[in-house]
């Protein structure tokens, strides 16, 4: 009997010691961080710490062995110079990253999704200087007499470790929406008075909050998040446009999609409990109180875009829907989310995988955006200046500032006021420069 007990205890001890294998390693360089992903057979206990002099990052994995070939990993575009590993006592594994400079690590584990199995994710964050593009002065169209462009920030959904929805034939949402977003950005940049910016310019992941922060850095007049989502069944089809809802979703499908999109923020490592998260949540609640104007503007541009999409594609719903998408929660920037279609629908997956159909959708979105801003251009933009000219029927004279001129003096000569000239020309103050041309309203 004692022998049987001893054997059983030995078997239990052996199972407890059974190692999990690291089956693959992937690297996703992004502008503000580099993501290292270890594909594992199951969930792993791990510890991560950074060292200086020289810069290194140590990843210890408990009861783990290495199956992947670290020598075949492409390290280009990352701060990693070399990856090495060694087994440790007790069946553990140590992985060491030799780095070009010190970084701040962040690690978390992910459960399997449609494309990948268990994963250990390690983000390498350079706190000394993010490589995210910073917005400088607003873009100005050369022939606009100093009038700025309307800035549209386009957000290709998902990316990197987050493939988004996957269609029956394996088409990945992140690939479809990135290609369509690139086309849309090109169309916008070709339109006089418009400038487009992309939240991501490659296959990497950006957290939902960081996407809206980028829109703010770019001084966006409009934020457009592009998706091609899926539903539980293959039947739903058609394009949709969403704006933020402060009172919940307008339909069961909208509610399900919002929950699905917001859940993707777990892939960004935002799923853990932290004081920062609580602060952000409180800040979000407070900011939501001031979003009525932004939501109304979002509904306006969303309606225009939806109308154009309806000219070339089937619509899932006849009107703009509203749901609690986290990526739309910007209190000062009109924001819409465009669902190009349901990638879970076999016919729409086939269409979305083709360039001609994506181009048609991108052109429709551009037409909707342009129509909206032609009707309601933001103050100080080229489109606002052009609309002012049209409203006055072209009965406008122009005066070229000479040496010694002041705005008040020019106003007196033309039987108007300096404040009226400032308003009419979109000026923030009464300063003028020699050679500057200003418009004089007809009396």
Q: So where are the chain's domains?
A: 2-125, 154-178+203-211+224-375, 392-441
Tally the C-alpha atoms within 13 A of residue 84's C-alpha that lie toward its C-beta: 6
- Per-residue pLDDT tens, the chain, 443 aa: give them: 554 444 444 444 444 445 799 999 999 998 888 999 999 999 899 999 999 999 999 999 999 999 999 988 999 989 999 999 999 888 999 999 999 999 999 999 988 887 889 999 999 988 765 544 444 455 555 444 568 899 999 999 999 989 999 999 999 999 999 999 999 999 999 998 899 999 999 999 998 888 988 998 999 999 999 999 888 899 999 999 999 887 777 787 777 777 777 777 767 665 433 323 444 455 444 444 446 778 889 999 999 999 999 999 999 999 999 998 888 887 779 999 999 999 999 999 999 999 999 999 999 999 999 999 988 999 888 888 777 766 555 556 777 788 888 888 888 877 788 888 887 777 778 888 877 878 777 65
CATH number 3.90.220.20 is the correct assignment for the domain at 2-125: no
> Hey, which CATH number is domain 154-178+203-211+224-375, 3.40.50.2300, 3.40.630.40, 3.40.50.1370, 2.40.50.140?
3.40.630.40
Q: Give the whole-angstrom CA distance, residue 118 versus residue 125.
A: 22
- The pTM for the full model equals 0.74
The CATH superfamily assigned to 392-441 is LysM domain (3.10.350.10)
Is there a contact between 91 and 65 (Cβ–Cβ < 8 Å)? yes
How many Å apart are CA 345 and CA 275, to the nearest integer?
A: 41
pLDDT of residue 264: 75
Rounded distance, CA 298 to CA 286, Å?
19
- Mind listing the pLDDT tens digit for each residue in 5-59? 444 444 444 444 457 999 999 999 988 889 999 999 998 999 999 999 999 999 9
In this chain, the answer to whether the domains covering 2-125 and 154-178+203-211+224-375 adopt an identical fold is: no
| Bond from prior residue into 409 cis (ω within 30 degrees of 0) | no
Angstrom distance (rounded) from CA 437 to CA 407: 12
Q: Which of 59, 34, 35 is nearest to 46 (CA)?
A: 59
């Amino acid at each position: 009997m004692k022998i049987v007990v001893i054997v059983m205890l030995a078997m239990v001890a052996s199972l407890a010691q059974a190692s999990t294998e690291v089956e693959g390693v992937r690297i996703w360089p992004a502008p503000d961080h580099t993501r290292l992903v270890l594909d594992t057979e199951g969930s792993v206990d791990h510890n991560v710490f950074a060292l200086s002099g020289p810069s290194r990052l140590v990843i210890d994995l408990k009861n783990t062995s290495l199956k992947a070939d670290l020598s075949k990993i492409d390290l280009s575009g990352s701060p990693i110079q070399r990856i090495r590993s060694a087994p440790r006592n007790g069946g553990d594994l140590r992985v060491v990253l030799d780095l070009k400079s010190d970084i701040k690590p962040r690690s978390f584990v992910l459960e399997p999704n449609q494309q990948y199995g268990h994963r250990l994710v390690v983000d390498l964050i350079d706190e000394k200087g993010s490589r995210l593009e910073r917005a400088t002065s607003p873009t100005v169209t050369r022939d606009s007499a100093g009038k700025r462009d309307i800035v549209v920030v386009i957000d290709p959904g998902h990316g990197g470790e987050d493939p988004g929805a996957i269609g029956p034939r394996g088409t990945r949402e992140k690939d479809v929406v990135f290609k369509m977003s690139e086309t849309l950005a090109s169309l916008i940049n070709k339109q006089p008075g418009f400038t487009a910016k992309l939240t991501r310019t490659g296959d990497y992941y950006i957290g939902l909050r960081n996407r809206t922060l980028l829109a703010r850095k770019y001084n966006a007049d409009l934020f457009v998040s592009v998706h091609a989502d899926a539903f539980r069944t293959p039947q739903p089809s058609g394009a949709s446009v969403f704006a933020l809802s402060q009172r919940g979703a307008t339909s069961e499908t909208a509610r399900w999609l919002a929950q699905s999109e917001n859940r993707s923020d777990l892939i960004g490592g935002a799923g853990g409990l932290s004081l920062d998260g609580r602060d952000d949540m409180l800040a979000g609640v407070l900011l939501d109180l001031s979003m009525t104007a932004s939501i109304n503007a979002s509904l306006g541009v969303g309606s225009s875009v939806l109308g154009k999409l309806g000219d070339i594609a089937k619509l899932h719903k006849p009107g703009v829907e509203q749901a609690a998408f986290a990526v739309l929660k910007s209190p000062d920037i009109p924001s819409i989310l465009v669902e190009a279609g349901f990638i879970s629908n076999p016919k729409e997956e086939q269409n979305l995988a083709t360039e001609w159909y994506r181009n048609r959708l991108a052109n429709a979105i551009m037409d909707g955006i342009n129509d909206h801003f032609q009707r309601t251009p933001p103050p100080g933009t080229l489109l606002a200046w052009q609309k002012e000219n049209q409203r006055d029927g072209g009965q406008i004279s122009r005066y070229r500032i000479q040496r010694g001129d002041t705005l008040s003096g020019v106003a007196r000569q033309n039987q108007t006021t300096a404040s009226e000239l400032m308003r009419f020309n979109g000026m923030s103050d009464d300063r003028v420069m020699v050679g500057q041309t200003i418009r004089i309203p007809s009396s």
